[in-house]
Each structure stands twice: as C-alpha cells, then as structure tokens.
Amino acid sequence: MAKKENLDFNKNEDVNKLMVSELNRKLEQVYLGGGKSRIEKEHEKGKLTARERIDYLLDPKAKRIEIGAFAGEGMYKQYGGCVAGGSIGVIGYVSGRQCIVVANDATVKAGAWFPIAAKKNLRLQEISMENKLPIIYLVDSAGVFLPMQDEIFPDKEHFGRIFRNNAKMSAMGISQISAIMGSCVAGGAYLPIMSDEAMIVDKTSSIFLAGSYLVKAAIGETIDNETLGGATTHCEISGVTDYKCKDDKDCLDRIKKIMSKIGDANKAGFNRIKAQSPKLDENEIFGILPETREKPYDIKEIINRLVDNSEFDEYKEDFGKTIVCGYARIDGWSVGIVANQRIVVKSAKGEMQFGGVIYSDSADKAARFIMNCNQKKIPLVFLQDVSGFMVGSRSEHGGIIKDGAKMVNAQANSVVPKFTIIIGNSYGAGNYAMCGKAYDPRLIVAWPSAQLAVMSGASAAKTLLQIEVAALKSRGEVITPEKEAELYNTIKDRYDEQISPYYSAARLWTDAIINPIDTRKWISMGIEAANNAPIEKPFNVGVIQV
C-alpha cells in the first residue's frame, strides 16, 4: 500500500503531477488553434470556430474524448506548423447517441489538408468502421495544402482513401452526416456529398470542384463563388445538398434532430453491471509511478486504483510474474487486464526475473489468458511498461522466441476489442506483444510518462555512439574523451526527443496523451463504442508451437 507520507511517494507525485501540468499547458495552446486573431476573424464572418461548433453540438455535461489533439505537433515547421493537424476529432454524444465528430479547423491554414490531417481523418474513420459508430463531418476547408500535395494525394493511405471509406462505411450501414460550414473545394467536396445527408449554411459556405478563380482560368467564365456553389445553388438548383441552414447553430440543431431519430445498433453483448469507483484513491497513482524508469513499482498498486471497487481477480498469480493478468471491471464493464510488472520477482523455478522484461513463462501465461478472454467475450486492456523480451543463452535455449510468438499470435488474432495504455516504457518487440499500434487496439493512449522506441535513449545512444566513433576513426580522426562525451550527448538528445510521448502523438502512433486519472473514462467509452459492433468472426490463432 502506498504511503502518502513516504518520501519516495512524494517525489514521484511531484514529478508526475508536473508532467500532467505540462500536458494541460500544451493542450491549452492546442485549443487556441491558429490563435486568437484567427478566431476573431471567424467570428467577424458570422461563423463559430470548430471547437465552438463541437461544444454546441455535443450533449452538455456528457463525457467526451478527443483523438489526435497533438497530431502534427512540432511538424511542418517550414510552413508555420499545423496545430492538431488542422482538424478536431471527438468521440462524444449527440442527442444521447455515441458518435464521432470530425471538424476542420479553419483557423489553422484555412483548414487545408496536410498529410497528417489526412492520416487523422483516416484514423477517425477507422474507429467509426471498427465500432460501427455514426460519424458527423463539420466541413470547412480550403482543400489540399498544395506545397505538400505529393505527400497527401496519390498513395493508398492518402486523401483519396477518405472517399473510398465514405463508400465502404455507407455499405456497412454506418450513418454519416455532413455539414458544409465554410469552404469545401475540389476533391474535398466529395466527402460531404458521399455522406447520407448533407446540409449547408447560407451565405458563409460553398461547395464546388473548382472555385471562381480556377473556373475563370480554365474556361474563361466569370462567376462569383456564391452563385457557383453557395447554399441557394445547391439546395434549389443542383440538388447537391439536402438542407439550407441560416447560420451555424441552425445547422448544428438540424444534426441534433437527425441524430435523435437514428435507430439503435445491434450490440456485441459485452458484460456490464452498475459501475463502482475504485476503493483506493486514484490520485495515489501519481505517487506510485516512479519518477525515473529505473526504479521498480508494483503494477497491481496501479491496477487497484483503476478498477471498480479495487477488485482484481488475478490469473496464475504465482507463475510468469513479470506479466500480471486478471479479470476486473472498469466503469461496470468486464475486462481482462494484461500488464507488465516492474518489480524484481522470483519465477516458479526460483530464478530472479527482472521487472519490465517478458520471460518465456510470462509470455506463455499471457497468451493463454488472452485466449481465455476471447473464449469468454471479454474486452482486453493492455497496460504497457515493457523493456522487451529477455535475451541471452538461457532464454534462447528455453524457447523465448517460440513463447513470444505464441503471445503475439494470440493477441494479433484476438476478436474481442483491445485497448492499450502506455504507462512507461514501450520498447522493441515488447510493444508488439503488448498490443502496440500495429496490432489494432481500438484505442491506444499514453500517459505523460510514456516512451515509445526500439530501446531506451541511453541504450540507443551507446549503440549509435559506437557506430559513429568507429566511422570517425576509420577516417583518421582522433576521438578524445571530451569529443566522445559531446557526441554521446548529441545522439542521446536527438533520440530522447523521438521517444517522447508527444513525438508519438504528433504522428498518431497513439490516439492521445491523457491524464492517468482519465484512464477509466477512455476505456469505458471505448468499450461502449465497441459494443455497437457485434463480433462476426470466430477466434482462431492458426498454427502455434507449444
């Protein structure tokens, strides 16, 4: 049990709360989009900003989670950046119905599509398709960001994939509603019109394949944008849009009415009872999680502050101790938890096992537990703080590759929804085995203490330093201890930037960086979303070496 008066507890608490404060500070900047002056310009046009639209649309006081708030963080510096990827993606509730809302942020480069914007939109569509959630698009975009067209236009996972997904989602019976609330140009014009229903705001919005300037240049026709593709044109002449709205709020109110009449989805049938708060104080997580990743801690102390009533039924408690598995409830939902254990423990054979490392017995236990959860139709939660698999002759002779493959196979073929929380380390093959992004978690988020990389910064810097020093010496350069130290620090600083959770979130390797206290909300809303999509294929792991 953690002691609040303990010096280590207080140190940990200070460090972790400072990281959450930094997270909140960064989020405040993200929420400003392109800045206060840009926000004022939108208001002068009689428009709400993207975030104001979402706030008005979503049910008041209902829970919500934001996907990809840090998309593009630190990227595209040569173009002045692209805050949140120029768009906002939220899972929330409209007229009591859980759904996804995607809004272009016109305060950021006029809502133009950067490569990361396309990747973010595709991720939100993926979440919609996996969970069969209705999706609402609030369109206000100048179209593809032309200086980077080669990185957004032609490839399989580029801009065109969005419209392909529109068609696939329609065939799947997923409701798609679009509101044209500003500019909607060129290829982007297909997104709202491939939705089930499209509405357009009068006077402030337009939709066309080419604007008036391009029309003039291409065919010599002189016409203004309103006549070319405004609300009156498309609601009364072309029939492209379904509803003409007098202003932003009128448009959003119409979406609420449509959402209030959508029929309920078939359910997957995941088990849920009345939710209970953890008995143990969730805020103590800040004091339990060590200030440095070299220090051990008991993951069960974290689990007991995340699960209902602090009740955790551990599976194979005395076997494979560097992975903890067990059943619990989170916000009433039944879950199976797979978590890395950071304390040094003894194996069933009496051998010392180092925390954060996956051994053969741990991998074997985890694989079997994952298969059990699939058999029982219980969603899986992975709590990652993993340094990788154990190496060395003893492990190799014991078949660590075989047992690791067994664990990866079980979770890769899992048919129940999976949710991944990166608490600390997420290194190497450990990331894969514990359901990293490549293994299709329904949601994957990081705490501010997380690090994602092939190996730790110190280990990578030492390895890269050896290569760099050897290369310099081969060219006849003399490497002094001072020069070597300078090289090491340069390499480590560069690598440390890359393993930051913000670097990962910027590239959408994770869906969000979250306050640890919000973990229960993310998992609960994720399972609620997954419950809209019945499991349609049987669990089958294929060939496994035992």
- CA 288 to chain CA centroid, Å, is 25
Residue predicted with more confidence, 103 or 488: 103
Most confident segment among 95-99, 144-148, 150-154, 470-474: 95-99
Task: Band the pLDDT of 40: cuts 50, 70, 90.
Answer: very high
Task: Band the pLDDT of 3: cuts 50, 70, 90.
Answer: low
Question: Does residue 397 surpass a pLDDT of 70?
Answer: no
Q: Is 82 strand, coil or helix?
A: coil
Report how far apart, in Å, the C-alpha atoms of 422 and of each of 15, 76, 440 are. Answer: 17, 26, 15
Give tens-digit pLDDT for 490-532. Answer: 888 888 889 999 999 999 999 999 999 999 999 999 999 999 9
Per-residue confidence (pLDDT) for residue 470, from 0 to 100 = 85
Task: Band the pLDDT of 144: cuts 50, 70, 90.
Answer: confident
Q: Residue for token digits 């990281």?
A: 19
Residue predicted with more confidence, 509 or 468: 509
Q: What's the pTM value of the predicted model, to 2 decimals? A: 0.94
Per-residue confidence (pLDDT) for residue 294, from 0 to 100 = 79
Helix/strand/coil percent split, the chain, to 5: 45, 20, 35
Give tens-digit pLDDT for 46-82. Answer: 999 999 999 999 999 999 999 999 999 999 999 999 9
Per-residue confidence (pLDDT) for residue 216, from 0 to 100 = 86
Per-residue confidence (pLDDT) for residue 71, from 0 to 100 = 98
Per-residue confidence (pLDDT) for residue 80, from 0 to 100 = 95
Per-residue confidence (pLDDT) for residue 461, from 0 to 100 = 76
Question: Does residue 16 surpass a pLDDT of 80?
Answer: yes
Per-residue confidence (pLDDT) for residue 284, from 0 to 100 = 97
Per-residue confidence (pLDDT) for residue 515, from 0 to 100 = 98
Of all helices (H) and strands (E), which one includes residue 287? helix 285-288
Residue predicted with more confidence, 492 or 232: 232
Give the pLDDT mean for 305-316. Answer: 98
Q: How many CB atoms lie within 10 A of CB 378?
A: 18
Q: How far apart are CA 104 and CA 110, in angstroms?
A: 9
Per-residue confidence (pLDDT) for residue 1, from 0 to 100 = 47
Instruction: List all residues 6 or more positions away from 407 whose beta carbon is below 8 Å from its beta carbon.
Output: 358, 363, 364, 366, 367, 370, 433
Give the pLDDT mean for 157-168. Answer: 92
Mean pLDDT over all residues of the chain? 93
Residue predicted with more confidence, 541 or 20: 20
Per-residue confidence (pLDDT) for residue 482, from 0 to 100 = 86
Q: How far apart are CA 272 and CA 291, in angstroms?
A: 35
Give the pLDDT mean for 144-161. Answer: 89
Give tens-digit pLDDT for 197-223. Answer: 999 999 999 999 888 888 888 999 899
Instruction: List all residues 6 or more positions away from 34 whose beta carbon is below 8 Å from its beta carbon.
Output: 83, 105, 107, 108, 109
Q: How far apart are CA 127 and CA 98, in angstroms?
A: 12
Q: How far apart are CA 304 and CA 523, in angstroms?
A: 15
Task: Band the pLDDT of 84: cuts 50, 70, 90.
Answer: very high
Give tens-digit pLDDT for 472-491. Answer: 888 888 888 888 888 888 88
Give the pLDDT mean for 251-274. Answer: 96
Question: Does residue 366 surpass a pLDDT of 70?
Answer: yes
Strands 97-104 and 87-94: antiparallel
Per-residue confidence (pLDDT) for residue 133, from 0 to 100 = 98
Q: How far apart are CA 234 and CA 225, in angstroms?
A: 12
Residue predicted with more confidence, 419 or 158: 419
Q: How far apart are CA 339 and CA 344, in angstroms?
A: 15
